[in-house]
């Protein structure tokens, strides 16, 4: 059966639902479902998602969504389609950009605005899950000391492991449950489930309906969907259990494929973990 709604795990689909100016109410609602009540967002401003770093690679570091709320707090929202080497390190590294950009010229007291890094993962932290001995969906992480007390309140990482979300429609109780169910199953819906009756979700379904796309948007989406499916297949294979040599060969194969698709070098680095020099030699 032909899909009625787009796949939100594609680059185009994710930004169509959450990353456009007209999508701002949807993004605010989604983020508020994640945040504590006292951190609720009233308004957001989308910011330039290409960062001004110290190196050429830094300057090409592009977030999926980068925005700022009415209090000046920064939000990075990233969709991660499959496992990659040093994923956690990459998230921490990217969080330094909205911290450093707050530096003021002249005398400055270092009073920083909060930074939130949110990752929607289409895979699981296998090593982390084994340590926890349970399959959690939401991981909220802050800097803490040896006694478990939060050392710094203004830096928060939130990871959503979508494969671990297995609730049925009649089990959805929170606003976040509804958003996770929406994201995970959107492409499979042919009608709007009754639980999504409020205006925000009506807007989300309207934006996601493929039949409403113009020819230009449809072409971009179909290309994004093809890239997602191809990359997903290659990346999943690359991270299967097996010999390390086999994994490297698959990552090289994926990098070659991405080069043929004219994907930017920084994106190939992001998905393969190969270095810039290694990619140039392919």
Task: Spell out the domain ranges in the chain.
Answer: 11-208, 212-282
pLDDT, tens digit (0-9, with 9 covering 90-100), for 110-126: 999 999 999 999 888 76
pTM: 0.79
Query: Residues 16-45: pLDDT tens digits?
Result: 999 999 999 999 999 999 998 888 899 999
Over residues 237-259, the pLDDT tens digits come to 555 544 444 567 767 777 877 88
Determine the angle formed by the axes of helices 11-18 and 199-208, rounding to 10 degrees.
Answer: 150
d(CA 135, CA 164): 6
* Strand arrangement of the beta sheet that strand 74-80 belongs to: 44-46, 65-69, 74-80, 115-121, 150-161, 138-144
């Amino acid at each position: 059966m032909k899909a009625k709604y787009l796949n939100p795990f594609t680059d185009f689909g994710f930004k169509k639902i959450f990353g456009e100016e007209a999508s701002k109410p949807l993004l605010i609602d989604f983020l508020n479902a994640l945040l504590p009540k006292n951190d609720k967002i009233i308004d957001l401003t989308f910011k330039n998602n290409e960062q001004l770093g110290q190196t050429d690679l830094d300057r090409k570091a592009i977030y999926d969504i980068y925005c700022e709320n009415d209090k000046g707090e920064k939000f990075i929202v990233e969709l991660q389609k499959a496992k990659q080497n040093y994923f956690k390190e990459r998230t921490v590294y990217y969080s330094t950009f909205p911290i450093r950009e707050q530096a003021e010229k002249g005398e400055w007291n270092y009073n920083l605005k909060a930074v939130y890094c949110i990752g929607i993962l289409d895979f699981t932290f296998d090593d982390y899950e084994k340590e926890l001995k349970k399959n959690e969906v939401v991981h909220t992480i802050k800097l803490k000391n040896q006694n478990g007390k939060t050392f710094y309140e203004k830096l928060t990482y939130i990871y959503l492991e979508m494969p671990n979300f297995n609730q049925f429609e009649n089990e959805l109780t929170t606003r976040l449950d509804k958003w996770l169910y929406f994201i995970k199953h959107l492409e499979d819906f042919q009608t709007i489930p009754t639980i999504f009756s409020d205006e925000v979700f009506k807007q989300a379904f309207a934006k996601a309906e493929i039949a409403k796309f113009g020819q230009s948007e449809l072409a971009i989406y179909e290309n994004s969907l093809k890239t997602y499916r191809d990359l997903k297949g290659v990346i999943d294979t690359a991270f299967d259990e097996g010999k390390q040599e086999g994994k490297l060969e698959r990552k090289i194969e994926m990098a070659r494929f991405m080069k043929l698709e004219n994907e930017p070098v920084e994106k190939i680095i992001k998905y393969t973990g190969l270095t810039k020099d290694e990619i140039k030699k392919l």
